[in-house]
Amino acid sequence: MTEIKIQKNVLSKNDELAAELRRDFARKGVLVLNMLSSPGSGKTTLLEKTARALAGKLRIAAIEGDLQTERDADRIRAAGVRAVQINTGRGCHLDANMIANILPKLEVAELDVLFIENVGNLVCPAAFDLGEDFAVLLMSVTEGDDKPAKYPTAFLKADLLVLNKLDLQPYTNFDIERFRGDVARVKPSLPMLQVSCTTEQGLESWFQWIERKTKAKRERPRR
Ligand code: MG
Ligand code: ZN
C-alpha cells in the first residue's frame, strides 16, 4: 500500500515536470521522440542511420540514456550529430528530471528533432513521461513475437512501432502475422513500420514519418 502511494507520488511529480518540458519543447518548435526498446533491438544503430540520412535536412540532437558508458553517445557523434549521455548507474529508466537537467547542454531552440534514447528496458520507461511528442517502440524479430502479450504497457504507450532486423526473420521463428495480431489486440491503432537497419529496407518510411511529424510540429506549435 505505502509502496503504491510512493510510486504514484513519484509518477505525478514526474508528469508535472514532463508537462513543463512539453510546453518548453513546443515553444521552441522541436519534435521530441522518446525511443523505447529492449537492449539490443538496434536503437543506437537506427539513430546513426537516421542522423546520416537526415543530415542537411533537419537539425538533430540526441540524449543517450544508458546504465554505464559513453559509447552510444560516441557512436551518434560519429554520425555527425550532437549527443549527450545520461548514465543512470543502476537506474533502469530516464525520468523528466534527468532530461530537464541535461537540456542546458543542448541548444534546443536550434533543433528540429531531439531523440531521447531511453535505457533498454520495456518495463518502467513506459511509465515515465519525458515531455516527448511521440514514443517510438523499437522491436526486433530476434526478440521473439510474444512481447505484446508480455509487455502491453510499452505497446500502449507507443505511438509508432518499428520492427527491426527484418533481414534476420528467415532465421528465426518470429511470426510477423501473429505478432501483428497480438499488437492489434493490445493497441489496434498502433502503426507499424518494418525495417532492417542492416539492409536499410524500409528505412525510407521511417525517415518520411519523422519529416512529416517535424513539419506538423512547426505548423501547429502548441502554446
Ligand atoms: Mg543504445
Ligand atoms: Zn526503471
Q: What is the reported pTM?
A: 0.94
- CA 212 to ligand 2 center in whole angstroms: 31
Helix (H, G, I), strand (E, B) or coil at 37: strand
Ligand nearest to the CA of 120: 1
- CA 11 to ligand 2 center in whole angstroms: 12
Per-chain residues with Cβ under 5 A from ion ligand 2: 92-93, 124
Query: Over the stretch 128-187, which tens digit does the pLDDT of each residue have?
Result: 999 999 999 999 999 999 999 999 999 999 999 999 999 999 999 999 999 999 999 999
Ligand nearest to the CA of 45: 1
Task: Pick the closest to residue 25 from 126, 95, 119, 112 (CA basis).
Answer: 112
Grid coordinates representing 166? 527484418
- CA 41 to ligand 1 center in whole angstroms: 8
Ligand nearest to the CA of 124: 2
**How many angstroms from the chain centroid is the CA of residue 88?**
17
Residue 160 is inside which H or E element, if any?
Answer: strand 160-164
- CA 74 to ligand 2 center in whole angstroms: 24
pLDDT surpassing 50 at residue 26: yes
Task: Pick the closest to residue 206 from 114, 136, 101, 110 (CA basis).
Answer: 136
Query: Over the stretch 50-94, which tens digit does the pLDDT of each residue have?
Result: 999 999 999 999 999 999 999 999 999 999 999 999 999 999 999
- CA 220 to ligand 1 center in whole angstroms: 31
pLDDT of residue 219: 83
Which single residue is written with the C-alpha cell 518495463? 123
Strand-pair category, 192-194 with 160-164? parallel
Is the Cβ–Cβ distance between 158 and 36 less than 8 Å? Answer: yes
